[in-house]
Every structure is written in structure tokens, then in C-alpha cells.
């Protein structure tokens, strides 16, 4: 019997091409037919049911273990600690918690299937996981009914899509390993090599303004919000002590915790005897079809460029933001100007040494730093300004709902127009559409989602450009500790910083405020490392390797030797990568992406980011912009596009901020030669009269618009 089994195994392994990560890249959702046929024999209803039963049993044990964890520490995370700021950053909701818990059960069932049926036949875990992603839960299973109920209750597609299949060591959920079989270097070991590097920036320093950083983070918040896992009773999870030390095993969550180990000789943390950086794994999604397979993560933001960070991602969240009078959003008035309304203190970090005020908007991250808070404020003002103007020019029979809908439409279109300006600055003018020629997931629903690669790596480039101060205020003192924007001098200081303060160059050097002081206590002078967190999150999300995305974005050109990167990266960065990773195939996407030289374009202004991130960013932004064409109807689209033809970021600042002059391109420092400052009176303003007339004359024009916008946000 054993001889027969071995013979079958040898035959199978010789007839299908098993994945060899050392020799070739990650396949795009394809398996050899012979392997699929063989795996189908294992995927019987009884075997899948057996796997699901095992998954439920493991979850029940986990729930009992959580009781001991909660009993051994305070139930609530300290509001003055870094873990609390991380919690706000990935704030879970009851809906995301319910979906994550059920997804966790399905993941454990998938792991059981891999170990029970694939490992025993020496079938690579990657390919087994890829096969399972096409296996739906049996409709007879109680888990299927729970899954369908959760999916049908969702208001928007809240799972990231993938440009390449997930890469987990076990095919399902454990962090990938080096192609040598060893563990990858700690995320902090990798990041510290770059943070400790000395030398001047060589990526055209001083050319771009802090507005570029501000808008990059604001756009990220519109399209991506990765939430964190919680315990089954909703209790928060913490994976390190408040002193950045390791928790005793009995107090550390076995599934959700993936803390970043810090070497005892770390160049910064050794002075603080810190050996642990908190990281709670991201919440997982069920997708839309209740299937087995590798983990994928939840996205609590909408997939549209719809200002959901201002208006909210759901209908209920949007209703909370409104006054329901005159089409306006809630605000507080001071000196006849709109400011964000006060929010719950739970959305800010408590610090006894600082006096803070907490603001409310459509996203829990509104208070993360002054740049983000300011842009929320400006778009709030823009909406209410539009609603007020509409009320003056529209017929008296227009209701609050009509005024709100049209003000939101125009405000969102203004936003998208500026996003196009931002995209040109980031990826260069004269560039072509992303080199990704087709979507690897043909499912139409999947195409409407945000890519995991964009959300988890590519858009995170802006942290390398983050200045260490906002004006003359250290950034460290401002993370989730907002100051009072109603103080006129402070507000003007923020505007001046956005328009005239230089952003850092995009390279692998990060300022201290995000390299090891992120979210940290002002008194202790210690915090987190944003690059280490981004590396860890990429591994948590099962992103493929940098070389795989380089090949995907560069016509299939593969990198299999360090020397091939000499034309792509700076020599000092390449030297660090060589000394840190065992093989070039091990490099994480976020690390390789920020280490690339800026992309050269065929014509016009060059890019800020390198070719791989340029490809991933452009793919997502162009997709989002294209999908949203036609949502308001062809006639309205033509009118709004014409109205905004000459409107841009500079005029937006004039309309919402206390400025009389502004440079033509707000993302670059003013220059009398190629970026002059202009009087606001020289910049075209908006005229809403024709739009109002068209909506009012067209029979049922605005109700149709309302339905389209509701559908677009769903």
C-alpha cells in the first residue's frame, strides 16, 4: 500500500509544476489542471465539513484561553500608550469584529485541510491554499448561513483585492519565510539599518511641500482602513507591555499577536531597554462567497474616491455627520468660520503634559496629525460653503436632502480633480496607464475593491517624506493629540506649513518622529517605528515579495540577482539590502518600493516614486477614477466637468483657508520661475447656477442623482 502511495505521489509531482519561489515568481491565480483534479478528490463535502468542525473546536478553545488573558491584565488599553493610538488607527466596529471572528474559524478549517490532505501528499502549501480559495463552504454547514447573513448585511465591498495571490508559509496564514527556509529578518532589524544610515538626501530635496504628504495620507484614509482584531467579547488586544517588553506567554493572544522583536543591541531602543514593538494582526474578511483559502484582510473604508473619510463609509455614519438643515454638515462656528465639531475623547490619546481637543469627522483617524485634521476642516468648509451658495441660487422648494446631495457631489468632484493633480505629481506627467494589463481576478465585484498592495505598501510611501515638525511644533507631540484649530495664529501656521514647508525627500531615511517616536509618550521619548510596522503588516497580509511586483509592473522582467538592482536602487540602499536579507527574493515590497530610484517618464515632469510603486499607485487611483465616471449621469457629468475645468487645488485653498495668495501648484514650493504665487482673484472660481438649473429642469433629475450617489457609496 505504501509503495502504491509513493508511486502515485511521484507521478503527480512529475506531472504538475509545483511552485518554486526561488526560481520563479508567484503565479496569478492559476494551478496546473492535473493538480486541481487531484485536489478535487480531497475536497469532498465530508472532508470540508470535517475541517470546519475542527476550526470551530479550535476557536472554542481560543475563547477559553482569552478568559485567562483578560483576567491577567486590565481589560482596557491605557489611553496614554502607543497601543491605544494603534487601536484608534485601526478602530474596529461591531460589524468588522463579527466578520473577523467567523473568518478566523474558516481560516483554521483551511489550515486543517492543508495539513491533513496536502502536506501528507507533499503538495506545496501555497498551491493548496490557492486551490482552497475556490472552495465554497457547504450550504448545509451552519457556518454558511452565518457567513451569508454577514455578507448580505454589508453596505460596501470590504475586502481588499490582490494583484498577486497571498504568500503565507503554510499557504493560509503564517508569515512567509526566506527562500532559504529560515525566518525573515525581524522587521525592526530591517528598518533600523536604514534609520541609522547617515548621509544627505539625494532625491531632489526641498522641491515639494508638506501638502504632498498631507494629501497622500488623506487619500489613503479615503480608500483604505485596515482594522485590528479583538477578542471574542470585544476586548482590546495588546501584545507588548507598556514599557515595550514582551508579555508572558499566558497573557499574549496566541493568534492575534505578532509583536516585532527588537534586538538587545538595537541602535535606539537599547537605551530604553525596549525589546518589543506592539503589533496586533489585521482583521480578516469573509469576502463575498464564503469560501476557504488564505487569509485576506478587511477594508473598513469604501473603494471609491468619495470623501468617505469626511462623510462616513456607511449611510448611518453619513447621517450622523449632517445637521439636516440647509444641506450642511455638522460644525462648530468660531469667528464666523466652520471648524470640525468636538468628538469623543476616546478618539484621542490622553497625555497629562498636553492640553488637547478631540475632533469628530467621518473617520476615526481624523486626529492622527494636524495635516489630516486640517484637510478634514477645509473640506467641511467647502461642503458648507457649497450648500450655502446652492441655497441662494436654487429654487426655494429645494429640500435639505437636495442641497446636501448636490453639495456633496460638487465637493467630491473638486476632491477628485485635485487627486488627479496629486497623481501627476507622484507618478509623473507624460506617463501611461499602469502596466498591469489585466486584472488577475476577473470577478467584477473584486475589481471594485482597493488592492491590498496599494493599501498596505504603495500608498505608505509618504511616511518617508513626513517632516519632523509642523512649523516649529515637534510632530511627536501631535499624534492623536490635536491642538485647538480655532486659535487663529495656529490655524495660519498650519496653512503656512502646508504651502511653504519642505517635505522630506522620498528615500529610505525616515525622520526620528516616525522612525522610533511614532505615537510615543512625550515624557518617555520612545514610540514605534512606522517602517517596521509597515513591513510587519505586509507579512501579516501575505503580500508577495518585492521582486514579484517588480516583474508584474515591468513587463515580466524578473530580478533573481542583487546585481540586477544596481540600475534600480541607490548604491547605499542596495548595500544595506544585501547585508540584511539572505536572498534578493526575500525583500519586502515596502522596503524595495521606497528604495527604488524615482521613475523616469517619457515626457514632462518626472515621478517622485519608483517604477513599482508608481505602477501600483496609478493602477488603483486610475481604477477608482474610471469607475466613478457616469455616476451622476452623462448630462450632469458634462456640466460638472465644465464647471471644474479650470478649478484646482490652488483655488480650493483660496476658498477654504485664510490666504490671499497661493502658488499655482500647491504640491511644489513656490518659485517665481516655474511656480509663481498668484492672487486668489486671478484663479477661476465656481459658478453653480447652470448646474442648479439643469437639475431643477430635468424631470426627477435630483432624485436620480441621489440614487446614483447612494449606489456609488455602497
Select from 57, 171, 61 the least CA-distant residue to 124. 171
- CA 291/CA 102 separation, integer angstroms: 11
Q: What DSSP string runs through 32-97?
A: -HHHHHHHHHH--HHHHHHHHHHHHHHHHHHHHHHHHHHHTS-SSPPTTSHHHHHHHHT---HHHH
- Residue 100: its H or E element: helix 94-113
The backbone region for 234, taken as left when phi is positive above 0, alpha when psi lies in -120 to 50, beta otherwise, is: left
Q: What is the 3-state secondary structure (H, E, C) of 346-406?
A: HHCCCCCCCCCCCECCCCHHHHCCHHHHHHHHHHHHHHHHHHHHHHHHCCCCCCHHHHHHH
SS (H, E, C) 578-597: HHHCCCHHHCCHHHHHHHEC
SS3 state of residue 613: helix
Distance CA 347, CA 360 (A): 8
Adjacent-strand bridge partners of 334: 337
| CA dihedral sign, ordered 398, 400, 406, 411 | positive
β-sheet bridge partners, residue 339: 332
Name the DSSP letter for residue 149. Answer: H
Taking residue 554's Cβ as centre, other Cβ atoms within 10 Å add up to: 15
Closest CA to 591 of 566, 569, 614: 569
Burial of 306 (0-12, 13-18, 19+ CB in 10 A): buried
Q: Give the dihedral of Cα atoms 282, 283, 288, 292; nearest 10 deg.
A: 80
Q: Cα 484 from chain centroid?
A: 28
Question: Is the distance from CB of 402 to CB of 590 less than 8 angstroms?
Answer: no
Say which residues have a Cβ less than 8 Å from residue 331's Cβ, sequence separation at least 6.
338, 339, 340, 341, 380, 384
Contact 171, 123 (CB under 8 A): no
State the chain's maximal CA–CA distance in angstroms.
88
Q: How far apart are CA 688 and CA 665, in angstroms?
A: 24
The contacts of residue 385 (CB under 8 Å, 6+ apart) are 655, 656
Supply the DSSP symbol for 520: E
Distance CA 580, CA 690 (A): 61
User: What is the rounded distance in angstroms from the CA atom of residue 639 to the CA atom of residue 114?
Assistant: 56
DSSP letter assigned to residue 663: E
Rounded Cα–Cα distance for residues 515 and 193 (Å): 11
Give the β-pairing of 518-521 and 473-474.
unpaired
| Closest of 298, 312, 313, 304 to residue 223, by C-alpha | 304
**CB-CB contact of 663 with 433 (8 Å):** no
Separation CA 150–CA 96 (nearest Å): 10
Strands 469-470 vs 473-474: parallel, antiparallel or unpaired: antiparallel
Query: Three-state SS for 191?
Result: helix
463 annotated as belonging to a binding site for a ligand: yes
Instruction: Show the DSSP H helices in 280-325 as ranges.
Output: 308-311, 315-321
What residues form the annotated binding site for heme b?
463
Annotated binding site: 463
Amino acid at each position: 500500500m505504501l509503495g502504491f502511495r509513493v508511486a502515485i505521489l511521484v507521478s503527480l509531482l512529475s506531472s504538475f509544476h509545483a511552485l518554486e519561489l526561488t526560481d520563479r515568481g508567484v503565479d496569478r491565480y492559476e494551478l496546473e489542471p492535473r493538480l486541481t483534479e487531484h485536489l478535487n478528490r480531497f475536497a469532498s463535502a465530508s472532508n470540508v465539513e470535517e475541517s470546519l468542525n475542527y476550526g470551530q473546536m479550535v476557536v472554542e478553545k481560543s475563547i477559553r484561553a482569552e478568559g485567562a488573558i483578560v483576567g491577567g491584565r486590565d481589560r482596557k488599553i491605557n489611553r496614554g500608550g502607543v497601543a491605544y493610538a494603534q487601536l484608534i488607527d485601526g478602530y474596529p466596529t461591531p460589524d468588522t469584529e463579527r466578520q473577523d471572528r467567523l473568518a478566523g474559524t474558516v481560516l483554521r478549517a483551511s489550515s486543517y485541510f492543508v495539513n491533513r490532505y496536502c502536506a501528507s501528499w507533499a503538495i506545496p502549501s501555497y498551491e493548496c491554499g490557492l486551490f482552497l480559495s475556490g472552495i465554497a463552504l457547504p450550504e448545509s454547514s451552519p457556518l454558511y448561513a452565518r457567513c451569508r447573513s454577514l455578507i448580505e448585511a454589508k453596505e460596501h465591498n470590504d475586502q481588499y483585492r490582490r494583484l498577486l495571490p497571498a504568500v503565507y508559509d503554510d499557504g493560509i496564514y503564517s508569515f512567509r519565510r526566506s527562500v532559504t527556509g529560515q525566518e525573515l529578518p525581524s522587521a525592526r532589524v530591517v528598518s533600523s539599518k536604514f534609520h541609522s544610515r547617515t548621509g544627505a538626501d539625494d532625491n531632489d530635496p526641498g522641491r515639494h511641500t508638506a501638502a504632498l504628504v498631507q494629501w497622500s495620507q488623506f487619500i489613503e484614509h479615503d480608500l483604505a482602513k485596515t482594522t485590528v482584531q479583538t477578542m471574542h467579547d470585544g476586548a482590546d488586544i495588546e501584545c507588548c507591555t507598556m514599557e515595550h517588553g514582551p508579555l508572558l506567554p499566558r497573557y499574549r493572544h496566541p493568534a492575534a499577536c505578532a509583536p516585532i522583536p527588537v534586538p538587545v543591541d538595537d541602535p535606539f531602543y537599547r537605551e530604553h531597554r525596549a525589546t518589543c514593538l506592539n503589533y496586533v494582526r489585521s482583521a480578516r474578511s469573509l469576502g463575498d462567497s464564503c469560501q476557504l483559502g488564505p487569509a485576506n484582510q478587511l477594508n473598513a473604508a469604501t473603494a471609491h474616491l468619495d470623501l468617505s473619510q469626511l462623510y462616513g463609509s456607511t449611510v448611518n455614519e453619513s447621517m450622523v455627520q449632517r445637521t439636516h438643515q440647509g444641506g450642511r454638515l455638522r460644525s462648530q462656528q468660531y469667528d464666523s468660520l466652520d471648524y470640525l465639531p468636538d468628538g469623543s475623547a476616546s478618539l484621542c490619546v490622553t497625555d497629562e503634559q498636553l492640553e488637547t481637543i478631540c475632533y469628530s469627522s467621518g473617520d476615526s483617524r481624523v486626529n492622527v496629525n494636524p495635516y489630516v485634521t486640517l484637510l478634514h476642516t477645509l473640506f467641511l468648509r467647502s461642503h458648507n460653503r457649497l450648500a450655502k451658495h446652492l441655497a441662494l441660487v436654487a429654487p426655494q422648494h429645494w429640500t435639505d436632502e437636495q442641497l446636501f446631495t448636490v453639495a456633496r457631489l460638487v465637493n467630491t468632484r473638486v476632491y477628485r480633480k485635485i487627486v488627479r493633480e496629486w497623481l501627476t505629481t507622484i507618478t509623473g506627467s507624460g506617463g501611461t496607464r499602469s502596466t498591469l494589463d489585466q486584472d488577475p481576478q476577473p470577478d467584477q465585484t473584486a475589481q471594485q475593491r482597493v488592492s491590498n498592495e496599494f493599501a498596505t505598501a504603495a500608498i505608505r510611501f509618504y511616511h518617508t517624506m513626513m517632516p519632523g515638525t509642523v512649523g516649529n511644533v515637534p510632530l511627536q507631540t501631535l499624534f492623536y493629540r490635536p491642538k485647538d484649530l480655532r486659535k487663529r495664529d495656529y490655524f495660519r501656521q498650519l496653512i503656512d506649513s502646508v504651502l511653504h514647508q519642505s517635505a522630506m525627500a522620498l528615500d529610505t531615511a525616515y525622520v526620528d518622529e516616525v522612525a522610533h517616536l511614532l505615537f510615543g509618550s512625550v515624557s518617555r521619548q520612545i514610540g514605534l517605528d512606522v517602517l517596521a510596522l509597515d513591513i510587519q503588516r505586509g507579512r501579516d497580509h501575505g503580500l508577495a515579495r518585492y521582486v514579484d511586483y517588480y516583474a508584474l509592473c515591468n513587463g515580466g522582467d524578473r530580478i533573481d540577482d542583487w546585481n540586477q538592482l544596481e540600475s534600480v536602487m541607490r548604491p547605499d540602499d542596495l548595500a544595506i539590502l544585501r547585508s540584511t536579507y539572505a536572498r534578493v527574493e526575500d525583500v519586502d515590497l515596502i522596503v524595495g518600493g521606497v528604495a527604488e530610484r524615482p521613475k523616469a517618464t517619457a515626457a514632462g515632469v518626472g515621478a517622485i516614486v519608483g517604477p513599482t510603486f508608481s505602477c501600483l499607485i496609478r493602477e488603483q487611483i486610475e481604477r477608482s477614477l474610471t469607475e466613478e465616471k457616469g455616476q451622476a449621469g452623462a448630462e450632469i457629468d458634462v456640466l460638472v466637468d465644465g464647471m471644474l475645468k479650470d478649478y484646482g487645488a490652488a483655488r480650493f485653498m483660496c476658498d477654504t483657508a485664510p490666504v490671499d495668495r497661493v502658488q499655482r501648484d500647491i504640491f511644489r514650493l513656490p518659485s517665481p520661475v516655474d511656480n509663481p504665487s498668484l492672487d486668489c482673484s486671478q484663479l477661476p472660481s465656481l459658478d453653480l447656477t447652470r448646474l442648479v438649473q439643469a437639475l431643477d429642469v430635468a424631470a426627477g433629475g435630483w432624485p436620480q442623482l441621489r440614487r446614483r450617489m447612494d449606489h456609488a457609496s455602497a
